[in-house]
Amino acid sequence: MKRRYAIGIDYGTESGRVLLVDLSTGEEVATHVTTYSHGVIDEKLPETSEKLGHDWALQHPGDYIDVLRQSIPEVLSQSGVQPEQVIGLGIDFTACTMMPLDSKGTPLCLLAEWKDNPHSWVKLWKHHAAQDEANRINEAAAQRKEKFLLRYGGKLSSEWMLAKAWQILNEAPDVYEHADLLMEAADWVVMQLTGELVRNSCTAGYKSVWHKRDGFPSRDFLRSLDPGLEQLADTKLRGPIKKLGTRAGGLTDEMASLTGLIPGTAVAVGNIDAHAMVPAVSVVTPGKLVLTMGTSTCHLILSDNEVHAEGIAGVVEDGIIPGYYGYEAGQSAVGDIFAWYVNEAAPIDVKRQASETGMSIHEWLEREAAKLSPGASGLLALDWWNGSRSVLMDADLSGVIVGLTLQTRPEEIYRALLEATAYGTRAIIDTFTQGGVEVNELYACGGLPQRNRLLMQIYADVTGKEIKIADTAQTGAFGAAMFGAVAAGTEKGGFGSIVEAAEKIARVREETFKPIEANVRIYDRLYSDYKELHDYFGRGGSDVMKRLKAMKTNNSR
Ligand SMILES: Nc1ncnc2c1ncn2[C@@H]1O[C@H](COP(=O)(O)OP(=O)(O)O)[C@@H](O)[C@H]1O
Ligand SMILES: O=C(CO)[C@H](O)[C@H](O)COP(=O)(O)O
């Protein structure tokens, strides 16, 4: 029998990565990356001089289609695989990355009459300008003792659908009114591929507060926020919600000719990028915490039980692997913090030395920072450069570095930033453990583990746990391909379930990162200092971060 393949597409913050996977061996046969030509739109709208406010982050939906147009034909031609050998396609996406659509399913930002309104564009997951709305949602839900709040650690995020939808209603009621649907980008791309309006249970559960039995927040609650939101769930969020691995539909003729695949190829319902990575590192049972480390980090774990605790961003039944409660927590910036330092703050001399040695700035700083021992720099940082997603769920918090002196070196700051993100992860592990979700093992995947060994050693030392690393640099796309093969089903040469797919083709590397005892002891002390700063700035010891942010926002008006 001819070999069978599946394609997975990982829609990240800056680019879409397409991977062709051999379903009999798990071999990654070909991969291609399409960088979004509009990138993250956070200063002004394309083709206009319309300036965006603080904390805005938008995208262009055309960039998502470019990934299909460019990268799918590319992996087919690189590999020589025949289109009919590709039995399934799955996608994963950043989330909540949402957009308003008209009644034909066209994003409003692509229509001449709406394109100058920032609210007609795709709001990227890291659009944080709906914090006011999030605060008001949280106050109202707490006051009304809404049951759903418990499943989200007591707070909904400004990154999620409800806050973003309400921001549109508040600031651009005409856009809200005209929007027939508000859709996750993951579901919109699946709709383009198949012509079917199908939502996936993962983004619906984690980002739109949907529950398998209780549905969305009640009309009564939505009306209590704003009468204009009352019908939100029944109208703009309508559509069947299908569980992960379900076949959303077959590839349309139009999409078949755009991609070079054959019409009718099975397309799985969408998924969140981080969540797709869990089975891709072979995790399909409880107790194994998966760190998906890239621009941001998500922390995902399965459990047999539903527990509620502060700091857990969300628990969704069947949200990651059917049959389990899937838990998510996260840090809104990780790679983004290192990128900030490299792009905005590293001195010119560092850039010169890196270029002289033929290394990237990250690589040079990593090499120099690895020469330092833990605690030697006298620096300690908080990891809130893009707010705190867990444990505090507050986008108005910001970054801190304590201990700077005239002697401080760039590699010391770089290392302090790596360490800060590791402390943030340890705080999340504590939250899970104290909340009753057992964390026995750590798995790391995403773009960072294979790029920065020092980072991974620091994570092992700070958490005191051995870390297993994904055997693929394209973990999201690999997981998406696995779900694509499940959607195709066994009769087509795919898999009967995601658990079967994980058993047959998912794997981790043999090499692991093990904690170094002497470092663990030092980091234990530094972590307790981190916690002191964390609670001081984050739990009301000082509101200086919020005052500074308010001053900055007022000044820019
Ligand atoms: N050697 C490195 N060390 C630390 N961070 C890095 C390194 N190389 C790239 N990064 C950061 O990794 C992030 C990109 O991660 P990746 O997983 O590829 O993308 P995404 O999160 O968009 O899916 C960027 O924030 C970038 O600054
Ligand atoms: O909230 C998310 C998942 O729940 C975002 O999709 C994620 O944090 C962004 O992913 P990346 O860092 O890989 O761009």
Q: Quick check: 530 and 476 in contact, CB under 8 A?
A: no
40, 59, 64, 125: which to mutate for ligand 2, most atoms within 8 A of CB? 125
Report the separation in Å between the CA atom of 492 and the middle of ligand 2, taken as the mean of its atom positions: 32
Looking at every residue in the chain, the average pLDDT score rounds to 96
Residue nearest to ligand 2 atom 1, measured at CA: 95
Find out whether the beta carbon of 272 lies less than 6 Å from any atom of ligand 2.
Answer: yes
Residue nearest to ligand 1 atom 5, measured at CA: 335
Query: Phi-psi bin for 29: left (phi > 0), alpha (psi -120 to 50), beta?
Result: alpha
ipTM: 0.94
Instruction: Give the span between the Cα atoms of 131 and 284, in whole angstroms.
Output: 34
Predicted local distance difference test score (pLDDT) of residue 49:
79
At 310, is the pLDDT very low, low, confident or very high (cuts 50, 70, 90)? confident
Find out whether the beta carbon of 334 lies less than 6 Å from any atom of ligand 2.
Answer: no
**Cα-Cα-Cα-Cα dihedral sign, residues 209, 482, 188, 47:** positive
- Which of 159, 181, 192 is closest to 72 using CA atoms? 192
Instruction: Give the span between the Cα atoms of 195 and 192, in whole angstroms.
Output: 6
Instruction: Give the span between the Cα atoms of 204 and 239, in whole angstroms.
Output: 11
Q: Which residue has the tokens 């998510």?
A: 328
Which protein residues are within 6 Å of ligand 1, measured from CB?
12-14, 294-295, 335-336, 338-339, 362-363, 446-448, 451-452
3-state SS, one letter per residue, for 148-172 = HHHHHCCCCCCCCHHHHHHHHHHHC
Query: Phi-psi bin for 245: left (phi > 0), alpha (psi -120 to 50), beta?
Result: left
Q: Residue range 195-215: average pLDDT?
A: 97
Query: What percent of the chain is predicted at pLDDT more than 70?
Result: 99
**How many CB atoms neighbour CB 473 within 10 A?**
17
First-to-last C-alpha distance (Å) of the chain = 66
Q: At what angle do helices 361-369 and 410-435 cross, to 10 degrees?
A: 80
Predicted local distance difference test score (pLDDT) of residue 395:
85
Residue nearest to ligand 1 atom 23, measured at CA: 12
CA 20, distance to chain mean position in Å, is 22
Q: Quick check: 306 and 325 in contact, CB under 8 A?
A: yes
Looking from the CA of residue 159, the nearest atom of ligand 2 is 1
List CB contacts of 529: < 8 A, sequence separation 6 or more: 380
Predicted local distance difference test score (pLDDT) of residue 362:
98
Residue nearest to ligand 1 atom 19, measured at CA: 294
Instruction: Give the span between the Cα atoms of 502 and 520, in whole angstroms.
Output: 33
List Cα–Cα distances, 78 to 56, 97, 131, in angstroms. Answer: 38, 31, 45
| φ and ψ of 513, to 5 deg | -105, 125
Find out whether the beta carbon of 425 lies less than 6 Å from any atom of ligand 2.
Answer: no
Find out whether the beta carbon of 386 lies less than 6 Å from any atom of ligand 2.
Answer: no
Report the separation in Å between the CA atom of 274 and the middle of ligand 2, taken as the mean of its atom positions: 6
451, 457, 478: which to mutate for ligand 1, most atoms within 8 A of CB? 451
Q: Residue range 296-321: average pLDDT?
A: 93
Report the separation in Å between the CA atom of 466 and the middle of ligand 2, taken as the mean of its atom positions: 24
Q: Residue range 96-121: average pLDDT?
A: 97
ω into 391 cis (within 30 of 0): yes
Strand, helix or coil for residue 175:
helix
Of the listed ligands, the closest to the CA of 337 is 1
Q: Quick check: 411 and 353 in contact, CB under 8 A?
A: no
Report the separation in Å between the CA atom of 335 and the middle of ligand 1, taken as the mean of its atom positions: 5
User: Which tens digits make up the pLDDT trace of 436-454?
Assistant: 999 999 999 998 999 999 9
pLDDT at 244 over 80: yes
Residue nearest to ligand 2 atom 6, measured at CA: 94
At 264, is the pLDDT very low, low, confident or very high (cuts 50, 70, 90)? very high
pLDDT at 314 over 80: yes
Predicted local distance difference test score (pLDDT) of residue 557:
61
Q: Residue range 470-487: average pLDDT?
A: 96
Predicted local distance difference test score (pLDDT) of residue 17:
97
Q: Residue range 48-53: average pLDDT?
A: 86
Supply angle C-alpha 73, 77, 80, rounded to 5. Answer: 130
Report the separation in Å between the CA atom of 187 and the middle of ligand 1, taken as the mean of its atom positions: 25
State which H helix or E strand residue 247 sits in. Answer: strand 247-250
pLDDT at 423 over 80: yes
Looking from the CA of residue 360, the nearest atom of ligand 1 is 1
Predicted local distance difference test score (pLDDT) of residue 149:
95
| φ and ψ of 366, to 5 deg | -60, -45
Give the global pTM.
0.93
Report the separation in Å between the CA atom of 203 and the middle of ligand 1, taken as the mean of its atom positions: 23
Predicted local distance difference test score (pLDDT) of residue 1:
60
pLDDT at 343 over 90: yes
CA 334, distance to chain mean position in Å, is 11
- Which of 385, 384, 382 is closest to 402 using CA atoms? 382
- Which of 443, 464, 454 is closest to 525 using CA atoms? 464
Of the listed ligands, the closest to the CA of 273 is 2
Report the separation in Å between the CA atom of 240 and the middle of ligand 2, taken as the mean of its atom positions: 24
Find out whether the beta carbon of 314 lies less than 6 Å from any atom of ligand 2.
Answer: no
Q: Quick check: 300 and 326 in contact, CB under 8 A?
A: yes
How many Cα atoms are found within 13 Å in the side-chain-facing hemisphere of 92? 30
Predicted local distance difference test score (pLDDT) of residue 351:
97
User: Which tens digits make up the pLDDT trace of 357-395?
Assistant: 999 999 999 999 999 999 999 999 999 999 998 999 888
List CB contacts of 29: < 8 A, sequence separation 6 or more: 5, 20, 21, 22, 75, 79, 81
Q: Quick check: 217 and 258 in contact, CB under 8 A?
A: no
Predicted local distance difference test score (pLDDT) of residue 113:
96
Query: What percent of the chain is predicted at pLDDT more than 90?
Result: 94
448, 450, 451, 456: which to mutate for ligand 1, most atoms within 8 A of CB? 448
Q: Residue range 188-210: average pLDDT?
A: 98
Looking from the CA of residue 447, the nearest atom of ligand 1 is 17
Q: Quick check: 436 and 307 in contact, CB under 8 A?
A: yes
What is the chain's alpha carbon radius of gyration, rounded to the nearest angstrom? 23
